[in-house]
Amino acid sequence: MGTLYEALQLILQVVWFVMIVHIIMSWLINFQVLNLRQPLVAQLWDGLNRLLEPIYRPIRGVLPNTGGLDLAPLVLFIIIIILQRALANNAGFFYGM
């Protein structure tokens, strides 16, 4: 069961990292540091959007319309923090203590 605990923590950490990369890349694209006409940038951006959009979509459906401000990543960060702490607080269950 310890392996399950570590796998769940790893999945949450990978999602956290992918979200950070997506957010930084969106800033760089909006400030025209990166150009979507470059094939590598376009492929990476498309891949990140395909990974995260299915996660963001239900959150955006619940949140009110805030115009150009997307609060879905912030809500997902909070959810990930809550899940990580819940896993850490119940680690004894996974290790049989």
> How many Cβ atoms sit within 10 Å of the Cβ of residue 23?
16
**pLDDT confidence of residue 5:** 87
**pLDDT confidence of residue 97:** 67
Helices (H), the chain: 2-30, 39-62, 72-89, 91-95
Kindly give the confidence (pLDDT) of every residue in the chain, 97 residues in length, as a single tens digit, with 9 standing for 90 and above: 778 889 999 999 999 999 999 999 999 999 999 999 999 999 999 999 999 999 999 999 999 988 888 999 999 999 999 999 999 898 888 777 6
pTM tops 0.85, yes or no: yes
Distances (CA, A) of 55 to 32, 38, 91: 26, 26, 26
| Structure-derived torsion over alpha carbons of residues 61, 13, 43, 62, reported in degrees to the nearest 10 | 0
